[in-house]
């Protein structure tokens, strides 16, 4: 004979069923509201699209046709902004920035970079070189047993930009 169910178990099951029914009803209401707002926005967009050519003509008359020039000034792509952000993160460390400026003058191997940086350890410099390599700012070239590092085109542009800062030379 199965054990008898307690009254608490039965009450909790019925309460959870009624809660789920209420949440389902709430979901249906919110869905119908969103459908109404979509219908309203479609109606508004249809009426706005009919008036849009008139507005564009007024804007062209006011700006003498220079509306395209002002729109192109602020045309930064999301991908471009993210790429610039990543490049700036790569050289945000002072050691990496020094390596970048050092490689702007000529190619160096890890040992020469360690000496130029004032005795930095080889593992630390290798770590910084790996970060710059991941950011595609430098590229290695095999020369015997050593890797010789040089700047990529993006690395050269970034190094040139950094070198153009007048307060950096002081």
List pLDDT tens digits, range 58-79.
Answer: 444 444 444 444 445 567 889 9
Residue 1, pLDDT score: 56
79-169 CATH, one of 3.40.1310.30, 2.40.160.40, 1.10.10.10, 1.20.1300.10: 1.10.10.10
Residue 87, pLDDT score: 84
Residue 16, pLDDT score: 54
Q: Where are the domains of the chain?
A: 15-68, 79-169
Mean pLDDT of 37-58: 48
User: Where does the chain have alpha helices with state H?
Assistant: 7-63, 67-73, 78-90, 94-105, 110-116, 122-134, 153-163, 166-169
Alpha-carbon distance of 57 to 73, in angstroms, equals: 21
Contact 155, 100 (CB under 8 A): yes
- The C-alpha angle with vertex 113 and arms to 107 and 118, in degrees rounded to 5, equals 145
List pLDDT tens digits, range 75-121.
Answer: 788 998 988 888 888 888 999 999 999 999 999 999 999 999 998 99
């Amino acid at each position: 004979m199965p054990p008898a169910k307690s009254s608490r178990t039965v009450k909790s099951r019925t309460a959870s069923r009624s809660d789920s029914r209420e949440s389902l009803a709430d979901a249906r209401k919110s869905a119908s509201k969103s459908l109404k707002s979509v219908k309203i926005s479609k109606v508004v967009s249809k009426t706005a699209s009919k008036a849009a050519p008139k507005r564009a003509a007024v804007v062209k008359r006011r700006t003498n046709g220079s509306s395209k020039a002002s729109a192109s000034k602020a045309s930064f792509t999301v991908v471009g902004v993210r790429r610039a952000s990543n490049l700036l993160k790569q050289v945000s460390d002072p050691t990496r920035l020094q390596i970048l400026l050092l490689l702007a003058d000529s190619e160096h191997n890890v040992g020469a970079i360690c000496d130029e940086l004032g005795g930095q350890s080889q593992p630390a410099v290798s770590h910084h070189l790996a970060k710059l390599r991941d950011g595609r700012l430098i590229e290695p070239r095999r020369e015997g047993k050593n890797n010789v590092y040089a700047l990529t085109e993006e690395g050269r542009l970034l190094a040139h930009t950094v070198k153009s800062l007048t307060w950096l030379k002081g």
